[in-house]
Amino acid sequence: MAQSSWSEYRTGQRFPGVIGRTTEESRPAWPQPVRAAAGAPNVLFIVFDDTGFGQLGCYGSPIETPNLDALAAGGLLYSNMHTTALCSPSRSCIITGRNHHANGMAAITELATGYPGYDGQIPFENGFLSEMLLQQGYNTYMVGKWHLMPSEQESAAGPYDRWPLGRGFERFYGFLGGDTSQWYPDLVYDNHQVEPPATPEEGYHLTEDLVERAMAFIADAKQVAPDKPFFLNLCPGATHAPHHVPAAWADRYRGRFDDGWDAYRERTFARQKELGVVPADAKLSPHDPDVPEWESLSPDARRLAARMMEVYAGFLSHTDHHIGRLVDFLKETGAFDNTLIMMVSDNGASAEGGVTGTTNELQFFNNAPETLEASLARIEEIGSPATFNHYPWGWTWAGNTPFRRWKRETYRGGVSDPFLVHWPDGIRARGEVRDQFAHIIDMVPTVLDVLGIEPPATIRGVTQSPLHGVSFAHTFDDASAASRHRTQYYEMFGHRAIDHDGWRAVCPWPGPSFAEAERPFGTPITMADLDDLDAHHWELYHVDEDVAETRNLAREHRGKLIEMIALWYVEAGRYNVLPIDGSALERLMTRRPQITEDRTSYTFRPGTQTLPAAVAPRVLNRPHSVVADVEIPPGGAQGVLLCQGTNSGGWSLYVKDGRLHYAHNYLQRALHHVVSGENVPEGRHALRFEFEPTGLPDMAQGKGAPGRAQLYIDGRLVGWSDMPVTTPIAFNPGGMACGLNPGSAVTPDYRAPFRFTGTLHSVTVDLSGDLIVDAESEMRMHMARQ
């Protein structure tokens, strides 16, 4: 009788049982589920956004963060952790253990360009920790901000292989882009868009929602497999703009920042010395040349700036509160002591609010800052759903105490960030500070080290690249252990630095070495610029003795500086850093390859998902038309036909009170409104909007092309208006939606979502420039101007 114990098993392995002619003479062998090693810890990453070195209570800040402070008191606080100076690049390092240029993440994904280090597509050979732990029997959850794939792949057309579920996470709940409203977030659940479960009026806030979802994911699995460990990557929107928080949390800080940012720095620095976060003999970095003296501000400007900081502080404390709820949940379920928690910020505090701060960050990105008077008029709305606010960069500078500068720059203010480790079952030390040099590429190697796992050779058949980071697990219980991470390069928008054995070289671009008027942020670098920079503008600091980069030793140690510059170029060649690119606007405006060929006509239908800005038709500064094919029932209909953006800026074509309307929200600075002179009749009709530019945009002044807005019903002109200015660069957040206005309303003329109540067959956006030619209407408009 023939028997077989060698037939190929379904996994590609040999079947270990016996197969005969009948079950009587055979022996079964079940496929075994992948199980984690007994006692394997849970892993929890908490990744804050734009939270500076001097903004947590345990790092000396006056802002109250009792739950994070408790993690520091029960674990370890690292004073020498480094990031990349920007969010997407840092997050790619955190999750892969590789450098950001090697991940194709030289900058945020919206600024991708066609070079290997810059294309925004993390190679599959750079596996994610989620993919590694999935192979080891872990549940894997991603909750919150993603921002790790090309923006043009965020739509329902995919591809989905770089979405969280495509990179080893079993569940996802959060937002795909760089920021979102905390009141009206752009939410994705697993692989599809969803609306928030409640409204701000009903008490909704994104941070609370994210923590609730994280706890639900864990509980869902634990009730079935209580011993199965999880990896949770929790990435709240905090404390990135918009600084949205219930007013009661901001009001806790009334008057606490009235003495200004210089006083904040002095108090925080003194407390940092008491806590051992900085050495007792450290010197505070000098006053930043781009930050005005607090006393030089008018009383109104100080009042506005103080309120913006109160709101920020409330936002951070509110987030800490909900982190505490997650900690309490882990304690309640008995999982807390065996959960390895690593908390980090992705870069230093952000200066994207500009010198005065803003009630609408979209104004910053469109070069259209509001006046002090306009901001003051909205001071009590700051932090509410009506705003998209960000504080002045004086608070940014203070938030990075004791360091220089901020996010986007590679001085320590941009790249030195808070980092906590907590694991009662695995770390004996409690409440101690660790000052070993480390970088966020070290987080993955450290996790693998403590789990006793070798980096996988392959993931899903793809051969894996080596990890770039090194484990710092040996420092957990040994404060005197030497750092194993000796050399680390940095580059962000042409701003460069390198750390090596306690020395630090920095080459700012444009940075404080140049006048802002001559070298604004985002200025491209020419060969002549680069030659001049390398010859004259590198700075050298002995950070082992001068943590805040206060003494430039470039002249005294010229040989050391040359050695450091050469080492930077070696690292740059190794990790795809070249070509050095200082540009920002040019990268933002780059048209990247789309999933479909370029076209001039787009057709939308109601009930479909919102289009992210990266794949929506680009209507700004060009002639275009929007045509809705509708049926109006007896008694009329109303609602949005097509819209793009939010209450921070956007446009909407809609029907209200029987009339056809178009509204253009110019960054909350002006609302241009056109309405038809007659009602939309019953029956099936083509409702059309046209925009014809009458001038050129002025990007430097934050002004998009002026133009003529016209409304048509079945080809007849029924309304028109001249718009003196339009939005120049971008509507973000918020996408393009058909048949409703999700999130916050583009115009106060209606209340979102304002779904269309008639029959909407389709809406077509045409970018060909083919507009209606109506000589009679041209004459009427000409006469009306006389």
pLDDT digits (tens, 9 = 90+) for 384-421: 999 999 999 999 999 999 999 999 999 999 999 999 99
- Please report the pLDDT score of residue 28 as a whole number: 94
Distance CA(393)–CA(390), nearest Å, equals 9
pLDDT band at residue 593, thresholds of 50, 70 and 90? confident
Spatial distance between the Cα atoms of 282 and 280, rounded to a whole number of angstroms: 6
Which pair of tokens denotes residue 406?
A: 């901020």
Instruction: Classify residue 182 by burial, with Cβ atoms within 10 Å: 0-12, 13-18, 19+.
Output: buried
Beta strands 42-48 and 230-235 are parallel
Answer for the pair 215, 326: CB distance below 8 angstroms, yes or no. Answer: yes
- 8 Å CB contact between 471 and 432: no
Q: Which residue has the higher pLDDT, 8 or 685?
A: 685
DSSP string covering 481-506: PPPS--EEEEEETTEEEEEETTEEEE
Split at pLDDT 50, 70, 90, the class of 6 is very low
Average pLDDT over residues 697-707: 94
What's the pLDDT score for residue 490? 98
- Tens-place pLDDT, residues 234-265: 999 999 999 999 999 999 999 999 999 999 99
Going from the C-alpha of 18 to that of each of 1, 9, 24, 27, 32, the distances in angstroms are: 12, 12, 11, 5, 16
Confidence band of 785 (pLDDT split at 50, 70, 90): very low
pTM exceeding 0.85: yes
Cβ contacts of 40 within 8 Å, gap of 6 or more: 136, 137, 138, 229, 451
* Residues across the chain: 786
Q: What is the pLDDT of residue 138?
A: 98
| Cα gap 484→474, rounded to integer Å | 9
What's the pLDDT tens digit per position in 482-537? 999 999 999 999 999 999 999 999 999 986 655 555 678 888 999 999 999 999 99
Mean pLDDT of 94-121: 96
Identify the pLDDT of residue 41: 98
Tell which residue, 359, 435, 445, 421, has the closest CA to residue 668. 359
For residue 774, the model assigns a pLDDT of: 62
Residue 776 reports pLDDT greater than 70: no
CA 786, CA 778: separation in Å to the nearest integer?
13
The Cα–Cα gap between 154 and 175 comes to 10
First vs last C-alpha separation in the chain: 105
Q: What is the pLDDT of residues 648-688, one digit of tens each?
A: 999 999 999 999 999 999 999 999 999 999 999 999 999 99
Which residue carries 């101007």 as its tokens?
785
Please write the tens of the pLDDT for every residue from 553-583: 999 999 999 999 999 999 999 999 999 999 9
pLDDT tens digits for 312-370?
Answer: 999 999 999 999 999 999 999 999 999 999 999 999 999 999 999 999 999 988 988 88
Reported as type and span, the H/E element at residue 573 is: helix 558-574
CA separation for the pair 233, 617 (Å, rounded): 33
Computed over every residue of the chain, the mean pLDDT equals 94
Confidence (pLDDT) at 596: 74
In this predicted model, which residue has the larger pLDDT, 418 or 730? Answer: 418
Q: How far apart are CA 389 and CA 398, in angstroms?
A: 18
Exposure of 556 by Cβ count < 10 A (0-12 exposed, 13-18 middle, 19+ buried)? exposed
- Under a CB-based contact definition with an 8 Å cutoff, are residues 122 and 130 in contact? no
